A and B are shown apart, each in its own frame.
Chain A
Amino acid sequence: MAGLGYACLLLALGVCAYGIVASVYGVRAGRPEFSDSGRRAVYALAGVLTVAFVVLEVAFLRNDFAFNTVADTSSRTTPLFYRAAAVWSSQEGSLLLWAWLLSLWASGAVFLTRKRMRDVTAYAQAVLLGLAGFFVSLMVFYADPFATTRPAPPEGAGLDPLLRFPTMMIHPPMLYSGYTLCTIPLAFGIGALLARRVDADWIKAIRRFAFAGWLFLGIGILLGARWSYSELGWGGYWGWDAVENASLMPWLTATAFLHSLMIQEKRGMLKVWNVSLVLATGTLAIMGTFLVRSGVLNSIHAFGGATLGVPFVCLIAALIAGSIYLVVSRRDMLRSENKLDSLLSRESIFLINNLVLVGLCFVIFWGTYFPLISEAVTGHESSVGPPWFDRYTVPLALILVLLSGIGPVIAWRRASLANARRNFLVPTAVALGTAAVLLLAGLGHKPFAVTMFCCAAFVFASVGQKFYRGTRARRAMAGEPVPVALLGLVRRNRRRYGGYIVHLGIAVLFIGVAASSSFQHASELQLKPGQSTRVGAYTVRYVRPTASITPKYDRAHTGSTMALGAEVDVTKGGKHVATLNPSQGYYASQEPSQGTVGSLIGGQAVSHVAIDGGVTRDIWSAISPEIEAPALKRIVAAGNRTLGPEQAPVALLYLVRSYLKSPPPANFHFIVSPLVMWIWVGGLIVFIGGLIALWPAPSTIRARVAARARSRAPQRLARV
Chain B
Amino acid sequence: MAVAVTICALALFAVIVLVVSAPLRQAAARRAGVAGAESDALQAGPWAERERLEVAREVKYREIRDAELDYRTGKLSEDDYRQLDAELRGEALQILDALEAAGVTPTDASGARSRSRRKGRRRRPSSD
Contact between A32 and B40, CB atoms less than 8 A apart: yes
> Complex Cα distance A477/B127, Å?
19
Q: Is A410 an interface residue (CB 8 A)?
A: yes
Considering only residues 42-61 of chain B, those with a C-beta below 8 Å from chain A are 42-43, 48, 51-52, 55-56, 58-59, 61
Shortest Cβ distance from A42 into B: residue: B20
Are A11 and B9 touching (Cβ within 8 A)?
Answer: yes
Binding site for A on B (CB under 8 A): 2, 5-6, 8-9, 12-13, 15-16, 19-24, 26-27, 39-43, 48, 51-52, 55-56, 58-59, 61-64, 66-67, 69-70, 72-77, 80, 84, 86, 89-90, 92-93, 96, 121, 123-125, 127-128
Contact A30-B51, Cβ < 8 Å, known A470-B73, A496-B66: no
> Is A347 an interface residue when CB atoms closer than 8 A count as contact?
no
CB neighbours of B39 from chain A (8 A): 30, 32
Contact between chains at A422 and B42 (CB < 8 Å): no
- A-side residues, CB < 8 A to B, are 1, 3-4, 7-8, 11, 15, 18-19, 22, 26-27, 30-37, 40-41, 43-44, 47-48, 51, 116-119, 122, 195, 197, 199-201, 204, 265-266, 409-416, 418-419, 422-423, 466, 469-470, 473, 476-477, 492-496, 693, 696-697, 701-702, 705-706, 709-710, 713-714, 716-717, 719-720
- Please tell me if the beta carbons of A119 and B43 are within 8 angstroms of each other in the complex: yes
Is B26 in contact with A32, judged by CB distance below 8 angstroms? Answer: no
Residue contact B2 to A3, C-beta cutoff 8 Å: yes
Chain A minimum-CB-distance residue to B87: A413
Do B80 and A469 touch across chains, with their CB atoms under 8 A apart?
no
Give the chain A neighbours of B121 by CB distance below 8 A.
Answer: 706, 710
Is there an interface contact between A8 and B123, defined as CB atoms closer than 8 Å?
no
Q: Is the CB of A414 within 8 A of B127?
A: no
Q: Which residues of B contact A118 (CB under 8 A)?
A: 42
Asked if B42 and A200 make an inter-chain contact with CB atoms under 8 angstroms apart, the answer reads no
Identify whether the interface residues of A are mostly helix, strand, loop, or mixed.
helix
Alpha-carbon separation in the docked complex, A412 to B124 (Å) = 22
**A197-B52, A716-B89, A720-B86 known; A709+B125 contact, CB < 8 A:** yes
- A409 nearest in chain B by CB position: B75
Of chain A, the residue at the smallest CB distance from B22 is A40
Question: Which of B23, B42, B59, B90 is in CB contact (< 8 Å) with A119?
Answer: B42
Give the total number of A-B pairs whose CB atoms are below 8 A apart: 182
Do B69 and A702 touch (CB < 8 A)?
no
Chain B residues in 8 Å Cβ range of A415: 75-76, 80
Chain A residues lying within 8 Å of B93, measured Cβ to Cβ, are 717, 720
Known: A4-B8, A717-B93. A30 touches B42 (CB 8 A): yes
> Which residues from A are CB-within-8-Å of B96?
717
Residue on B nearest A342 in the bound complex, by CB? B80
Residues of A within 8 A of B6 (CB): 3
Q: Provided the pairs A32-B42, A204-B55 are in contact, do residues A48 and B16 lie with their beta carbons within 8 angstroms?
A: yes
Structural contact, B76 and A419, CB atoms closer than 8 A: yes
Q: How far is the CA of A35 from the CA of B40 in the complex (A)?
A: 11
Report how far A380 CA is from B99 CA in the complex, Å: 63
- Distance to closest chain A CB from B92 (angstroms): 6
List A contacts of B89 (CB < 8 A).
716-717, 719-720
What is the predominant secondary structure among interface residues of chain B facing chain A? Answer: helix
The chain A residue sitting closest to B96, CB to CB, is: A717
B91 to A, closest residue via Cβ: A720
What is the CB-to-nearest-CB distance from A316 to chain B, in angstroms, rounded to a whole number?
A: 30
- The CA of A117 and the CA of B62, in the complex, are separated in Å by 21
Please name the residue on chain B nearest to A491 by beta carbon.
B128
B42–A27 touching, CB < 8 Å: yes
Closest 5 CB pairs of A and B: A33-B27, A36-B23, A7-B9, A473-B72, A713-B123
Chain A contacts for B41, CB-based, 8 A: 30, 32
Let me know if B128 and A51 touch, CB within 8 A: no
Inside 8 A of A201's CB, which chain B residues have their CB?
Answer: 51-52, 55
Q: B23: shortest Cβ distance to chain A, in Å?
A: 4
Min Cβ gap A328→B in Å is: 23
Partner of B123, one of A705, A709, A720: A709
Contacts of A3 in B (CB 8 A): 2, 5-6, 9
Docked CA distance A719–B128 (Å): 25
Chain A contacts for B75, CB-based, 8 A:
409-411, 415, 419, 423
> Known: A11-B16, A51-B12, A419-B77. Contact between A414 and B84, CB under 8 A?
yes
Whole-angstrom CA separation of A256 from B101 in the bound complex: 37
Neighbouring A residues of B125 by C-beta, 8 Å: 705, 709, 713
6 residue pairs A–B, Cβ–Cβ below 8 Å: A31-B27, A33-B23, A40-B20, A40-B23, A119-B42, A418-B77
Instruction: Name the B residues within 8 Å of A409 (CB-CB).
Output: 75
A11 → B minimal CB distance (Å): 6
Residue of B nearest to A473 (CB): B72
Let me know if A414 and B80 touch, CB within 8 A: yes
Asked if B70 and A411 make an inter-chain contact with CB atoms under 8 angstroms apart, the answer reads yes
- A34 near B24: Cβ-Cβ < 8 Å: yes
A44 lies within 8 A of B42 (CB): no
Q: Which residues of A contact B86 (CB under 8 A)?
A: 720
Contact of B42 with A35 in the complex, beta carbons under 8 Å: yes
Residue of A11, A117, A473, A717 touching B92 (CB-CB under 8 A): A717
Contacts of A469 in B (CB 8 A): 72-74
* Chain B residues, CB < 8 A from A473: 69, 72-73
Residue numbers in A under 8 Å from B58 (CB-CB): 204
Residue in B closest to A418 when the chains form the complex, CB atoms: B77
* B60 to chain A: closest residue by CB: A266
Shortest distance between the CB of A360 and any CB in chain B (Å): 27
Known contacts A31-B27, A411-B76, A720-B86, then 10 further A-B pairs from the complex at CB < 8 Å, ordered by chain A residue = A15-B16, A30-B41, A37-B22, A37-B23, A200-B52, A473-B72, A713-B61, A713-B124, A714-B123, A717-B96
Contact B12 A8 (CB under 8 A): yes
> Does A7 lie within 8 Å of B12, measured CB to CB?
yes
Considering the complex, give the chain A residue whose CB is closest to the CB of B13.
A11
CB distance from A365 to the nearest CB of B (A): 33
Instruction: List, in ascending order, chain B residues with CB within 8 A of A701's CB.
Output: 127
From A44, A199, A265, A716, give the contact of B16 (CB < 8 A).
A44
Query: Measured between C-beta atoms, what is the minimum distance from B19 to chain A in Å?
Result: 5
Which residues from chain B contact A496 at a C-beta distance below 8 Å? Answer: 66, 69
Using Cβ atoms and an 8 Å threshold, which residues of chain B touch A265?
59, 62
A43 to B23, CA, bound (A): 13
* Closest CB in chain B relative to A479 CB, distance in Å: 15
